[in-house]
Structure 1
Amino acid sequence: MGKSLKTASSSSEIEAFISQAKGLATQSDTCGRLLFALDATASRSPTWDRACQLQSEMFLASSANGELQVQLCYYRGYREFNHSGWVNNAAALLDQMNEVTCLGGHTQIGRVLKHALYENSRAPINAIVIIGDCCEEPIDALCEMAGELGLRGTPIFAFHEGDDPHGKLLFEQLARLSGGAFARFDLNSAQRLKELLGAAAVYATGGLTALERYAGAGSHELLALTRQLRR
């Protein structure tokens, strides 16, 4: 079992973030849909619990009024790929996340993108978040799928952890070809990752206009993220 995520940080910083995201997400009669994909291979183990906690805060902030549906995907081990159903209940999602631990294996970003294309064919996905640190797959096939998602109006928010150059190149290409955005983070930049995840959630529920409002109250990293989506 993974570390429980139900006891989230209660710091004033996180409370302020949640209040801000609640106010900035645009009201809608339909839920935004965000596919959230995580690399759960062994190299991610040091930051797995922290990234999951930040994701839970993002979900809670944006789902307060039932505005966001999230599907959790992860890969690990020997060809293990899992995904949840679409949920707009924070407790249900956190229960599923609590069951995940990291396990050594190769990346399976291709399976994430194939799954995203399938889900998008059933009902439009407003945004995809992918968090990972490396890529052990041929890039061209992944780029083709990212481009197809872009043609369908589904941007990828590609958040790259660490310094692996091949992984960084792939994540940059995923963002560019899908019309999304790329950013880097590490274990010492939890605040940055929290802001970036919040931006993806706000975009999924309110589009670029809502994201621009959110970024206007945030850091220069958020402004840079918004500029990428305006391309």
Structure 2
Amino acid sequence: MSDPKAPSKTATGDVARSTSSSAELDAFLNKVQSLQPAASGRGRLIVAMDATMSRQPTWDLALSLQSEMFRAVKEVGGLDVQLMYFRGFGECRSSRWVGDPDALARLMRQVHCEGGHTQIRKVLSHARQENERQTVNALVYVGDCMEENIDTLSQLAGELGLVGVPVFVFQEGHDAGAERAFREIARLSRGAYCRFDAGSSAQLRELLRAVAVYATGGRKALENAKGGAATLLLEQLR
């Protein structure tokens, strides 16, 4: 873990230099094709972030990636997003559902990192509860570590898979224990796992955007989208 820094919305730091392998990114695209868009009405997507202190050095990068994802679907429309984050001593919050990507970006900029343990269990439980109220098309989770019981998380991930809520997990860094847990969460929920760092940020930005566009409008929306990730995804859908 990096040396703690005072919470700041503009703090930056070094990130791992190795990039995700092309095979890993291809595997992610293969998994994304299984995400089924809403048959009618608006798509609903939960975006959850680990906002504990270990994320501080690259917080700006994470916010930038997620802001890009929702700006990409602004012209398409039809996507409601809920922002969720955890940090500090048991703090775990979720926003209202937001249909305006600009409003979501403003919400994200208000979050800063604080020391604390992971609360992924709360994220998965919340997604299940929200889906019981109204269909949730997917959950995106961004984090770098895992400090919880993997069997508990696996049970919750499997329950999400049964009700059709895939978890798309994006890992920052190279924590081996977290990777094993994240891959299992993705597998059991019928979602996908992918790592991101400075070297792969551009491609992963496109992947995030492709997930959001597909969750909103399915194949037709992807055909109208721009970017290499949308093209690659369409090739996988054939």
TM-score bucket of the superposed structures, by smaller chain? 0.7 to 0.9
Q: Does the Cα contact within 8 Å between 2:210 and 2:222 map onto a contact in 1?
A: no
What TM-score, normalized to structure 1?
Answer: 0.79
Give the Å deviation of 1:79: 0.6
Aligned counterpart, 1:2: 9
- Aligned length, in residue pairs: 205
2:165 counterpart (151, 154, 162): 154
**1:206–1:91 Cα change, 3 Å:** closer
Q: Does the Cα contact within 8 Å between 1:70 and 1:86 map onto a contact in 2?
A: yes
Give the Å deviation of 1:67: 1.4
Q: Does the Cα contact within 8 Å between 2:38 and 2:137 map onto a contact in 1?
A: no
Aligned counterpart, 2:133: 122
Amino acid corresponding to residue 228 of structure 2 in structure 1 = G
Aligned counterpart, 1:8: none
Matched, 1:170 2:177: no
Matched, 1:35 2:46: yes
Give the Å deviation of 1:185: 1.1
**1:212–1:169 Cα change, 3 Å:** farther
Q: Does the Cα contact within 8 Å between 2:76 and 2:221 map onto a contact in 1?
A: no
Give the Å deviation of 1:189: 2.0
**1:175–1:103 Cα change, 3 Å:** same
RMSD, aligned α-carbons: 3.0
Give the Å deviation of 1:219: 5.4
**1:96–1:217 Cα change, 3 Å:** closer
Cα distance between partner residues in 2 of 1:35 and 1:131: 11
What TM-score, normalized to structure 2?
Answer: 0.77
Q: Does the Cα contact within 8 Å between 1:40 and 1:74 map onto a contact in 2?
A: yes
**1:96–1:38 Cα change, 3 Å:** same
Identity, % of aligned positions: 51
Identify which of structures 1 and 2 has the higher relative contact order when contacts are C-alpha pairs closer than 8 Å and 6+ apart. Answer: 2
Structure 1: unaligned runs, 5 residues or longer: 4-25
Give the Å deviation of 1:206: 3.0
Q: Does the Cα contact within 8 Å between 1:158 and 1:175 map onto a contact in 2?
A: yes
Structure 2: unaligned runs, 5 residues or longer: 1-7, 11-36
Give the Å deviation of 1:55: 1.0
Matched, 1:141 2:152: yes
Q: Which runs of 4+ in 1 moved over 6 A?
A: 214-217
Give the Å deviation of 1:31: 1.2
Cα distance between partner residues in 1 of 2:57 and 2:224: 29
Cα distance between partner residues in 2 of 1:94 and 1:216: 21
